A and B are shown apart, each in its own frame.
Chain A
Amino acid sequence: MKTRRIGALIGATTLALALGACGSSDDGTASGGSSGSAADGDSIKIGIKFDQPGLGLFDAGKYSGFDVDVANYVAKELGKTNVTFIQSPSKQREDLIATGQVDLIFATYSITDERKQKVSFAGPYFVAGQDLLVATDSDITGPEGLDGKKLCSVTSSTSAQKVKDSYPGVQLQNFDTYSKCLDLVVNGQLDALTTDNTILAGYAAQPAYKGKLKVVGKTFSEERYGVGLKKGDVALCEKVNTALKKMVDSGEWQKAVDANFGPAGFKVDTATNPPKTDACS
C-alpha cells in the first residue's frame, strides 16, 4: 500500500514539475517581447559585456570599464536615472536588441555593414584596432614577428585565424575564453594573444598582470565601436550622438579613457580618437 503511494507521489510530482517547466519557458519568450521602449519613464536597459576588464566588467557586485562609463554618461544625458545592465555576449547582441531585451548596447560592438542589416548604430564613440598582447620582455613588434610563434586564440573568433592565414607558421592554441590565455602569455608558454587593443589593454591592466604584459601598439585593423539600438530608431540615435558629443567636449570622455586604459600604458591613437559620430539613418 505504502509502496504504491510512493510510486504515485513520484509520478505526480514529476508530471507536475514537467508541466511547470513547460509553462515557465513560455513566460520567458513572452517577457522578451513585451518590454517597453527606451522612451518610457526613467529606466533603461543597457547591454554590456560582463567579462571584459577595462571595458565592461561585472566583478564583486560592481560594474566597471570604459563601455560602462560611456553608457552611464549617455543614460544620464537621456534623463534615465534607473539603469539596468544586461549581459550581452558577442553572439547575442543582435537578438537582444531585436527582441527588446535591451535598449542600447555598449559592448565592443564594431559598426559593420553586415550588422547594419539588423540593428542601427549611434556613435562611434571609440576607434580600436586589432593588436597583439605579449609579455613585457617580448621582442615581438607586430604580426610579422609571429612566424613560428604560439598564438592564443578563442573559439570561433576570427582574429587569430586572420593572423594565421597571413603567417602560416603561427601555431594556434584554442581556448573558450581569453582569460585562460593570459597566464600562459605571462609565463612564456605562449607568445601572444590577439584581439582589439582596448580589450588587450584591459587585460594588461588587471592587478594580477600589471607590469607583466604589454600591448604591442601596432594595429592591423580598424574597429569602430558603436552604440547598438533598434533598427531605424533615428530619434534615439540622434539623442545618443548628442550625448556622446557632449561627453567628448566636456572632457569626460578623456577622463574615462585615462581611467580605464591608462594603467596599461596603452596609448590611444589620437589620429582616429575621439571619433566623429556618423549620421543617423
Chain B
Amino acid sequence: MDELFDQFDIWSAFGQTIYLAFFSALGALILGTVLAVMRVGPVGIFNRAGAAYVNLVRNTPLTLIVTFCLLALHYQLKINLAPATSSTSIVDNGVRWAIVGLIVYHAAFVCEALRSGINTVPPGQAEAARSIGLGFGQSLRYVVLPQAFRGAIAPLASVLIALIKNTTVAYAIGVAETAAFMRDALEFRPDLSLMIFLLVAGFFVLLTMPLGILLTNLSQRMAVKR
C-alpha cells in the first residue's frame, strides 16, 4: 500500500475528483434550477426549450459531451477558459471544460429531480390553500414549495451521488483525477491490481455511501406524511 502512495500522487488525484464534484454539483444545481423554473413556468416557449434541453442532453452519453467540450469547443472553436499563454493552460482548460461538461449533463437531471418534487404535491394542497383565502404567492410560499423541496431531496441526492461517480469521465479529456491514477497504476504495477482497485473503489464508497445514507435519512425525516 505504501509503495503505491510513494510511487503515485494519489492524494492529488483524489483531491481533483472532489474538486470536480464540488464545482460541478454547484453549477448543475444552479443551471438545473433555472431549467426547472423554465419547464414549470407559465410561458410556453420556455417550457418547450427546457424540455428540448432535457431530452437532448439526457439521451447523450456524458463521455460524448465532455469530449465535445474539449475537442470541439476548446480546440476547434478556440474558446479558452484559462489564458492560452499561461504556463498551466492545458491543465486548467481541461479541468474547467470537464466541469462545464459535467454541469451541462447533470443539470438536466437536477431539473427533472426538482420537477418531480413539485409533482409530489397533490393538487388538493393548492386548492385547500386557495379555499382558506391564501393568495397565489402565499399558497406557493407556505404550502406548495415547502412540500416540493422536501419531495425533491431524495431524487436530488441520487443525482449528486451519480455526479460524484461521473467525475471519472473527465479522464476522457486527460484530467488527472482518480481514473487517471488508476489507469497509470494498473499500467505500471499490474502486480498490485486488486489493491489498486480496492483503494479506488473504497474511496468512492467512502464518498458516496455516507452521503447516500445521510440524504436518505434527511429525505425521510423531511418527507411530508400523506
Query: Are A and B in contact, CB atoms below 8 Å, in the complex?
Result: yes
Mark A residues whose CB is within 8 Å of B. Answer: 91, 148, 150, 155-156, 169, 171-176, 180, 183-184, 187, 189
Q: How many B residues, CB 8 Å from partner?
A: 17
Selected contact of A171 from candidates B91, B172, B176, CB within 8 Å: B91
- Known: A175-B174, A189-B78. Contact between A155 and B90, CB under 8 A? no
In the assembled complex, B75 has its CB within 8 A of some CB on chain A = yes
The residue in chain A whose Cβ has the minimal distance to the Cβ of B94 is A173
The residue in chain B whose Cβ has the minimal distance to the Cβ of A153 is B174
In the assembled complex, B199 has its CB within 8 A of some CB on chain A = no
In the assembled complex, B59 has its CB within 8 A of some CB on chain A = no
Selected contact of B184 from candidates A91, A148, A156, A189, CB within 8 Å: A156
In the assembled complex, B60 has its CB within 8 A of some CB on chain A = no
Task: Report the minimum CB–CB distance from B14 to chain A (whole Å).
Answer: 18
Contact B88 A174 (CB under 8 A): no
Interface centre among A148, A150, A173, A180 (most CB of B within 10 A): A173
Contact A155 B89 (CB under 8 A): no
Contact A172 B90 (CB under 8 A): yes
Contacts of B90 in A (CB 8 A): 150, 171-173
In the assembled complex, B87 has its CB within 8 A of some CB on chain A = yes
20 new A-B pairs (CB below 8 Å) besides A155-B180, A173-B90, A174-B180? A91-B187, A148-B87, A150-B90, A155-B174, A155-B183, A156-B183, A156-B184, A156-B188, A169-B87, A171-B87, A171-B88, A171-B89, A172-B90, A173-B94, A173-B174, A174-B176, A180-B71, A183-B75, A187-B75, A189-B78
Task: Report the minimum CB–CB distance from B196 to chain A (whole Å).
Answer: 14
The residue in chain A whose Cβ has the minimal distance to the Cβ of B91 is A171
Task: Report the minimum CB–CB distance from B159 to chain A (whole Å).
Answer: 28
Task: Report the minimum CB–CB distance from A117 to chain B (whole Å).
Answer: 15
Contact residues of B: prevailing secondary structure:
helix
Mark B residues whose CB is within 8 Å of A. Answer: 71, 75, 78, 87-91, 94, 172, 174, 176, 180, 183-184, 187-188
Contacts of B180 in A (CB 8 A): 155, 174
| CA of A115 to CA of B156, assembled, Å | 52
Task: Report the minimum CB–CB distance from B53 to chain A (whole Å).
Answer: 28
- Would you mind naming 29 contact pairs between A and B with Cβ atoms under 8 Å apart? A91-B187, A148-B87, A150-B89, A150-B90, A155-B174, A155-B180, A155-B183, A156-B183, A156-B184, A156-B188, A169-B87, A171-B87, A171-B88, A171-B89, A171-B90, A171-B91, A172-B90, A173-B90, A173-B174, A174-B174, A174-B176, A174-B180, A175-B174, A176-B172, A180-B71, A184-B75, A187-B75, A189-B75, A189-B78
Of all A-B residue pairs in the complex, the 7 with the closest CB atoms, nearest first, are A174-B174, A156-B187, A171-B90, A173-B90, A189-B75, A184-B75, A150-B90
Contacts of A91 in B (CB 8 A): 187
Contacts of B71 in A (CB 8 A): 180
Task: Report the minimum CB–CB distance from A272 to chain B (whole Å).
Answer: 30
Contacts of A150 in B (CB 8 A): 89-90
Contacts of B75 in A (CB 8 A): 183-184, 187, 189
Contacts of B172 in A (CB 8 A): 176
The residue in chain B whose Cβ has the minimal distance to the Cβ of A157 is B187
| CA of A254 to CA of B78, assembled, Å | 43
Task: Report the minimum CB–CB distance from A112 to chain B (whole Å).
Answer: 16
| CA of A281 to CA of B71, assembled, Å | 48
The residue in chain A whose Cβ has the minimal distance to the Cβ of B186 is A156
Contacts of B188 in A (CB 8 A): 156
Contacts of A189 in B (CB 8 A): 75, 78
| CA of A5 to CA of B74, assembled, Å | 55
